[in-house]
Structure 1
Amino acid sequence: MGATTIDGKATAAAERERIATEVTALGEHGIVPGLAAVLVGDDPASEVYVRQKERMCERVGMRSLGERLDAEVSQSELLEVVDRLNADPAVSGIIVQMPLPDHLDEVEAQERTDPTKDVDGLHPENAGRLMRGDPRFVPATPLGCAVLLATYEIAVSGANIVVLGRSQLVGRPLATLLSAKPSPGGPVGNATVTVCHTRTRDLAAHTRAADVIVVAAGVAGALTADMVSPGATVIDVGIHRAEDGSLHGDVTDPTVEEVAGALTPVPGGVGPMTVTMLLENTVRAARIQAGLPAV
């Protein structure tokens, strides 16, 4: 019997229905949340991701306020755009799409973003609040993983969880979120979390002891079936395009499905949740800026 499929597309669709209801309710206060995505250059993957955000904004009744800049834009010009969006009351949330061209400083752009509009959750103030246990904005991919675990009633409290990857955008914030005491309205927490990475000794010993494995290494083939305890849940955050154009995740061993108890597919797992949670953060930002209680 194969692993249960954790359907990110269906979960994201249900979340968007809820978000659309929240947007309608904000409209009664004269508030229309607006998301501004700043795209520098013509990176194909970033173009696709930004277009997805724009389509999803329209579906839930939000404004999409994209900013497209030439790849040769200077750091000062980029920061001027961020400053303008910070000051624009029509903009509830701002994201500076990564990766940026090599000559630009992404950290400076993140730090320049108004922390109450930083729906990526990368401003030091928001990262610090997550660490402190009272998050304002949780980065979208970690939040999406947490919502999937909650939706499928995967036991997290007291569980042993391995997060494979230590990026600032996924691995580190996800480990913090899963190990913390859940905040009011938060999806999951209270796990015992081990963060593994390229310098981890005997990686398989850690993963085989895990009830849940989140694979966010950015490397195809990072997890194989012999590294998974029977019945464990595997959340695959990675996404890669093969030579034939097909998509696959960090988990490429098809026999993982025979060992795991539950597994996210790629595509159709974490990916749809990431965009949807960005919308969730934007609605939350609009409420905060209007002085309304965050929900």
Structure 2
Amino acid sequence: MILLDGKRTAADIKEEIALEVKQLKDKGGKTPHLAAVIVGSNGASITYVNAKVKACERVGFESTLIRLPEDISECELLNEIAILNVDHAIDGFIVQLPLPSHIDKQKVLMAVDPNKDVDGFHPTNVGKMALNLPTFISATPFGILELLERYKVETSGKHVVVLGRSHIVGSPMSILLSQKRKVGNATVTMCHSRTKNLKELTLQADIIIAAIGIPEFLKADMVKDNVTVIDVGITRLADSSKKSGFRLVGDVAFAEVAKKAEFITPVPGGVGPMTIAMLLKNTLLACKRKN
């Protein structure tokens, strides 16, 4: 069993980005600048955004954090986005999800300039991704592709089963892995809550992408020997034996599935760190395109 170490791979990618940023600066080029908008005081969102700011510092980016109150109106938030869209100093920006219930998430995401949409959520960028045109690929699927490529996991001709059909992970992964690309050319089955013969399908899979949002859902009796498993899920489970009072688990019952896997991602330390690394990579791309 080979562990797909997202933490180490993300660190390698950040070093590569930092070197490229230094070269840009040495040539008198613009320093990449990422902005993040966060609405309210969701603890997980604040932690995640702060990690992004620290990552920007590490690779030599400039960063801007815009914190807005929970009760901001939708109109006011859209105005903040409009300002970022025309700010030439900002190469890319993200609006951290989730948003308060009184704000239409889709309206907000569609308001972001596609050329600055480093999250890859705008319909223009999703459409380009689906057509295999140059664009921003959303950070989590982008990170999964990068992990598979760097660990030389063969995807061509393989049967991939994707558990989950979200617009953030499941749906784009099913499209990307079926495309004619270096990490692609697979036959993909996308499963979801209405799939009736789920276990039958996962037992056929050479590669499983688990993004279903149910802790430890994928068990050993659902996979064949030498399977590759990418675990996208992360859930806090109460655990009195831990100092924190909880433990983090993915959508895969890691201890039992790892015994049958050829490649597998851990939780934490697998896909999660790759997401921030690829967000930085998209921001660097946005800066280079603009200049």
Tell me the TM-score normalised to structure 1 length. 0.94
What displacement does 1:14 show? Answer: 0.7
Corresponding position of 1:204: 199
Corresponding position of 2:22: 24
After TM superposition, the structure 1 = structure 2 runs for residues 230-241 of structure 1, keeping only pairs within 5 Å, are: 230-241=225-236
Query: SS at 2:93's partner residue?
Result: strand
Corresponding position of 1:129: 128
What displacement does 1:29 show? Answer: 3.6
Distance 2:286 2:137 in 1: 12
Distance 1:252 1:45 in 2: 23
Distance 2:174 2:21 in 1: 30
Residues paired across the two proteins, number: 284
Match among 206, 209, 220 for residue 214 of structure 1: 209
Distance 2:185 2:137 in 1: 16
After TM superposition, the structure 1 = structure 2 runs for residues 85-234 of structure 1, keeping only pairs within 5 Å, are: 85-182=84-181, 188-234=183-229
Distance 1:267 1:135 in 2: 31
Larger deviation: 272-281 or 250-259?
250-259
Distance 1:253 1:267 in 2: 11
> In structure 1, what residue type is equivalent to 2:53?
E
Larger deviation: 275-284 or 254-263?
254-263
Contact persistence 2:220–2:253 (CA under 8 A): no
Distance 1:246 1:126 in 2: 36
1:190-230 Cα offsets, whole Å, 9 max, x none, are: 11111100001110111111110010011112211111110
Contact persistence 2:216–2:249 (CA under 8 A): no
1:66-100 Cα offsets, whole Å, 9 max, x none, are: 11100000001100110111111111111110110
> In structure 2, what residue type is equivalent to 1:216?
A
Uncovered stretches (5+) of structure 2, i.e. residues with no partner: 239-244
Cα 1:266–1:198, aligned 2, differ >3 Å: closer, same or farther? same
Distance 2:172 2:24 in 1: 29
Distance 1:197 1:221 in 2: 16
Distance 2:22 2:75 in 1: 37
Corresponding position of 2:259: 258
What displacement does 1:254 show? Answer: 2.0
Corresponding position of 2:68: 69
Distance 1:253 1:232 in 2: 13
Percent of aligned positions that are identical: 49
Match among 7, 10, 13 for residue 11 of structure 2: 13
CA RMSD, Structure 1 to Structure 2 (Å): 1.0
What displacement does 1:289 show? Answer: 1.3
Tell me the TM-score normalised to structure 2 length. 0.95
1:111-168 Cα offsets, whole Å, 9 max, x none, are: 1101000001111100000011113100000010111111111111111101101000
What displacement does 1:253 show? Answer: 5.1
> In structure 1, what residue type is equivalent to 2:108?
A
Uncovered stretches (5+) of structure 1, i.e. residues with no partner: 291-295
Query: SS at 2:160's partner residue?
Result: strand
Distance 2:200 2:145 in 1: 24
